[in-house]
Structure 1
Amino acid sequence: MAKIKERNPNASLSSYEIALMAEVVLPEDIKVGFEDIGGLEDIIDDLRETVLYPLTLPGFFAKNSPLLQAPKGVLLYGPPGCGKTMLAKALAHESSANFLNIKISSIADKWFGESNKIVDAIFSLARKLEPCIVFIDEIDSFLRERASGDHEAMSMVKAEFMTLWDGLTTEGRILVLGATNRPNDIDSAFLRRMPKRYAVKLPDEQKRKKILKLMLHGTTLDPSFNFDKVARQMAGLSGSAIQEVCRDAVMVPAREYFQKRHAEDGKKFVPSTGAGDNESLTMRPLKDTDFFVDSAAAKSLNDATGAGDVLGLD
């Protein structure tokens, strides 16, 4: 509430807006920045120029051309686990914009007409919080292709959303950001309102190498550690799958450490929580041969390799 008063002293909240305040994340509370994302530099560069700068420097763009403003909508699409949600959070953090995270459960209501009022509150609250990013994850589940068999209430909610989206009078300081792995299911009318679309694809070998270096930052590595070899082994993995494989690999020297202590002590080793014992709690450096020796890591690779090609828009 204090943040709203700071940005707009005359703002008063309706009961619907107050309920939505639980979904607002302040930019300083988001701990993810562009530097924490590996392998998506081309998308990040474009987001800086077309979204970030217009959000943070509206005066400059308005002075030089009315066309130079952030788009009303941006769509991130691609396979699961490739960093779409992380990109959305980083964009909010870097732009110092409030992040309004909309879930379908926030909109759905059993009473007829209540969902329309909630949708209206989303945009009215966003205006009071601007600059604001309205983020809808799995946007295809809400704004999917309209059909004659749709329930009347859902049809009205979609129409209300489109009307309010088109009626924004914010000079580009409110952005609707959607993420999906099924872009072809989104209604064409909603796609028109998201002119900037970014395909967040599975990383290639060079991008996997960059992700690896980010994941293993702070982990002691063996001098012979070969990033190129491990990156090649991870062909077909998404960013989140790479993280899990790295977690499994780091557990190999950790497991060896505990087994060694168990053999030395002759009983189950329980480490002390005392600060003075930290130096003895040191495992060996991580080697590239530690990857994929665990069955869970191998299963992750097999599952990800069969995931198929990245989805595209026809």
Structure 2
Amino acid sequence: MSDQKRYKDFVSGLVIVAGTVSAYFLFRDLVGPYIAKLVDPDREKHEQARIKAEANLQRIKRLRKEVPGEAADGSDNNGSRIDKLVLNEYENQVALEVVAPEDIPVGFADVGGLEDIIEELKEAIIYPLTLPHLYSHGGPLLSAPSGVLLYGPPGCGKTMLAKAVAHESGASFINLHISTLTEKWYGDSNKLVRAVFSLAHKLQPAIIFIDEIDAVLGTRRSGEHEASGMVKAEFMTLWDGLTSTSASGSPSRIVVLGATNRINDIDEAILRRMPKKFPVPLPGADQRRRILQLVLGTTKRDASFDLDYISKVTAGMSGSDIKEACRDAAMVPVREYIRECRASGAAMDRVSADDVRGIRTEDFFGRKGGGQILMDNHARTTRASAARAQQSKASTDLYPEIDDEEHASLSPD
């Protein structure tokens, strides 16, 4: 009788254990995720952001070069610090915007002209960030500025300069987008702003880059949405904290780098936090020549191609305009060759690029759409040359120089 009772107790125990285990797995796999989704609707998104952020930071660690000098927390280099990072859900979202310097294919050698600005950027940003021991005798006075602003007309190389600074400095580059700071939940945008600066402190030396900064940190107005005003206030409050020193007494190595073509639309308090302001104007004659050399590169050119003349008639054009003009000119020989092959009935899969002629000076003119400044400069130059040729048959200056300061007068009447 007792054996039968023990057997029943044993079976009952097994049933209870099996039921408990089954209930656990049922709750974990079915009920738990449902409840977690009700409590935190963005749980899955945050988990995916954490996984991607960890993968991105580990990749940066593998690519990053060792930065000279001791880090702010006493570690030997930034790569070892990445292994020790513990990020919250907001820092994980911002970490997706971190770009490794080696992934940026633009250096100062790829920037046409602007030597004075490049040298100033090196002395004011790159050296204090990467070689702090050289400036230790000056204390906070010789540390990197809290903010740097690049402003000027569109297409003149502001974003390219920012990329070159990130590449040459080797610092962590946080390419901050407006969409990164935009959240549907009230107050989350402020927490993301705080995460930007806390992550920058963990990854320093770091550069926080904001392109079109006037759209993010524009002038505050009375009719502005409350959430937008709170984001700006949070940003400015945390930005002032960049001047604080670390536990070891060394200044924080973080710089906010902004670019805009509407400097008057930026809030005055933001401008005060960006003591270094560099104007990036339309390129001059020497800079246009350098841009043409970089853009054309190894492109096949005809023996009669006149680089000096093209650099003169592009007065008043931005670097982006010059690049597009070169692109259109390079298409002219290809277009001619394709038409010749079609007319002769040659198979297009057997044509050779070596048979395409080089770019000529006249390929820059006569195109439809865009390049109006170039066309007007060329037309006025041609008329001036013809007039001088009639006045003096001995004149050989077919390509007179165009004054950069008078390029506005060369625009259409």
TM-score normalised by L of structure 2? 0.68
> How far apart in 2 are the matches of 1:70 and 1:26?
20
Query: Contact between 2:201 and 2:254, CA under 8 Å: does it hold in 1?
Result: yes
* 1:292 pairs with 2:365: yes
* 1:92 pairs with 2:166: yes
Query: Contact between 1:202 and 1:238, CA under 8 Å: does it hold in 2?
Result: yes
- State the Cα distance separating 1:119 from its structure 2 match: 0.2
User: Are residues 121 and 232 of structure 1, via their aligned partners in 2, closer, same or farther at CA, if it must alter by over 3 Å?
Assistant: same
Q: Report the AA paired with residue 75 of structure 1.
A: L
Query: Contact between 1:98 and 1:131, CA under 8 Å: does it hold in 2?
Result: yes
- 5+ residue gaps, structure 2: 1-56, 62-77, 246-250, 378-403, 409-413
Aligned to 2:201: 127
- State the Cα distance separating 1:6 from its structure 2 match: 2.4
User: Are residues 154 and 134 of structure 1, via their aligned partners in 2, closer, same or farther at CA, if it must alter by over 3 Å?
Assistant: same
1:210-221 paired onto structure 2 within 5 Å: 210-221=290-301
Aligned to 2:42: none
Q: Report the AA paired with residue 340 of structure 2.
A: K
- State the Cα distance separating 1:39 from its structure 2 match: 2.1
* 1:79 pairs with 2:153: yes
Deviation digits for residues 73-125 of structure 1 (CA, Å, limit 9, x no counterpart): 00001111111111000000000012111111110112111100000000011
User: Are residues 65 and 167 of structure 1, via their aligned partners in 2, closer, same or farther at CA, if it must alter by over 3 Å?
Assistant: closer
Q: Report the AA paired with residue 361 of structure 2.
A: D
Aligned to 1:24: 98
Identify which of structures 1 and 2 has the higher relative contact order when contacts are C-alpha pairs closer than 8 Å and 6+ apart.
1
Q: Report the AA paired with residue 292 of structure 1.
A: F
- 5+ residue gaps, structure 1: 309-314
Q: Report the AA paired with residue 235 of structure 1.
A: A
Query: Contact between 2:176 and 2:209, CA under 8 Å: does it hold in 1?
Result: yes
Query: Contact between 2:217 and 2:267, CA under 8 Å: does it hold in 1?
Result: yes
> How far apart in 2 are the matches of 1:190 and 1:248?
40
SS, match of residue 207 in structure 2:
strand
1:140-219 paired onto structure 2 within 5 Å: 140-168=214-242, 169=244, 171-219=251-299
SS, match of residue 217 in structure 2:
coil
Aligned to 1:222: 302
Deviation digits for residues 28-65 of structure 1 (CA, Å, limit 9, x no counterpart): 10000000000211111110111111111011112344
> How far apart in 2 are the matches of 1:283 and 1:290?
14
Aligned to 2:130: 56
Larger radius of gyration: 2
SS, match of residue 196 in structure 2:
helix
SS, match of residue 99 in structure 1:
strand
> How far apart in 2 are the matches of 1:69 and 1:90?
20
Q: Report the AA paired with residue 62 of structure 1.
A: S
Q: Report the AA paired with residue 288 of structure 2.
A: R
> How far apart in 1 are the matches of 2:279 and 2:200?
26
Identity of aligned residues (%): 54
Query: Contact between 2:316 and 2:373, CA under 8 Å: does it hold in 1?
Result: no
> How far apart in 2 are the matches of 1:300 and 1:110?
45
> How far apart in 2 are the matches of 1:124 and 1:64?
26
Aligned to 1:251: 331
> How far apart in 2 are the matches of 1:179 and 1:42?
18
Aligned to 2:19: none
Query: Contact between 1:54 and 1:69, CA under 8 Å: does it hold in 2?
Result: yes
- State the Cα distance separating 1:300 from its structure 2 match: 7.0
SS, match of residue 124 in structure 1:
helix
Deviation digits for residues 215-240 of structure 1 (CA, Å, limit 9, x no counterpart): 11111222232112111221211111
- State the Cα distance separating 1:271 from its structure 2 match: 2.6
Query: Contact between 1:245 and 1:292, CA under 8 Å: does it hold in 2?
Result: no
SS, match of residue 223 in structure 2:
coil
User: Are residues 255 and 300 of structure 1, via their aligned partners in 2, closer, same or farther at CA, if it must alter by over 3 Å?
Assistant: farther
Query: Contact between 1:72 and 1:172, CA under 8 Å: does it hold in 2?
Result: no
* 1:232 pairs with 2:312: yes
**Structure ranking higher in helix proportion:** 2
SS, match of residue 144 in structure 1:
coil
> How far apart in 2 are the matches of 1:173 and 1:189?
21
* 1:283 pairs with 2:338: no
- State the Cα distance separating 1:303 from its structure 2 match: 11
TM-score normalised by L of structure 1? 0.89
SS, match of residue 355 in structure 2:
coil
Query: Contact between 2:341 and 2:348, CA under 8 Å: does it hold in 1?
Result: no
* 1:271 pairs with 2:349: yes
- State the Cα distance separating 1:263 from its structure 2 match: 2.3
> How far apart in 1 are the matches of 2:140 and 2:228?
35
